Amino acid sequence: MSAATTALPGPEELATLLDLAERVARAAGELLATQRPADLGVQSTKSSATDVVTAMDTASEALLLRLLRAERPDDGVLGEEGGASGGTSGVTWVVDPLDGTVNYFYGLPTYAVSVAAVVGDGPPGERPDPRTWTALVGCVHDPVSGRTWTASRGGGARLDGAPLRGPAEVPLDRALVGTGFGYTPQRRAAQARVVADVLPRVRDLRRAGVASLDLCALATGWLDAYYERGLQPWDHAAGALVAAEAGAVVRGLAPGSAPSEEFCLAAAPALVAELGDVLVALDPLAEEPAP
């Protein structure tokens, strides 16, 4: 099914997809919470030596893929740890088996499992592009607290079944803003430059290290705004839908653009415009020279 050529799923199919997303996210969360070895070690690194992958990342993704394929064998899958496959249905599951790996590695109780189903605008079997895909359903599960955020396209967002009203409109100087940082020295230097200018303009900044939970915190009203450069599709697929269905504007750096690896910005409409103007002026996509 292609979003450009075929009607989007109706309410019953969306409910079925969301039920599956929640069930598999909870199953992976239970695995992460109960099977974490005491001597958890780094299995490999990704973008830099500080960007770790653990054995539990890959175990969680393997479980997600097995459960999804058991019920939806014709769907595609895009996973963080290399679990990618094309499908023939037009639906692709975008999964982050362990969002917040560094927190998990250190034993910090802030991490999540993120599962979303999307349709793209290209031929079935092609990897969907977050700039053009349509997110159908999303689930972000926090295994430590047990909280579960869910959303379906046009159906609103919920936390443990209770509807979410989204972030409040506040002026920039009273906004609690979430953000995150990349892993290469050049990217971090550029982000530090932006943070140094943003921090005096806002109430305060928060950095949890889990993009999916940041977007859900925004949807719940625990943050007023969120921005980050460098998110991968699995980092924001479910959380962005939760935030948008709760009433937030979720966009790229330029007004009207879609969130992508380049940039993700989310807040209530007036605040997203105000913070967006500040960020654009700071040129947050500029990369600092290598030391």
Give me 122's structure tokens: 């290209």
Burial (CB count <10 Å: 0-12, 13-18, 19+), residue 173: exposed
Relative to beta strand 76-79, strand 91-99 is parallel
3-state secondary structure of 257: coil
Residue 261 known to bind ligand: no
Element (H, E) at 269: helix 269-282
Residue 19 known to bind ligand: no
Q: Which residue has 């019953």 as its token pair? A: 12
Residue 98 known to bind ligand: yes
Relative to beta strand 204-206, strand 176-179 is parallel
Give 242's contacts (C-beta < 8 A, 6+ positions apart): 138, 140, 149, 150, 151, 157, 164, 215, 216, 219
Distance of CA 232 to the CA centre of its chain: 8
Residue 80 known to bind ligand: yes
3-state secondary structure of 285: coil
Element (H, E) at 44: strand 42-45
- Closest to 75 measured CA to CA, from 125, 8, 129: 125
Residue 99 known to bind ligand: yes
Q: What CA–CA distance (Å, rounded) separates 151 from 149?
A: 7
State the binding site for Mg(2+).
80, 96, 98-99, 235
State the binding site.
80, 96, 98-99, 235
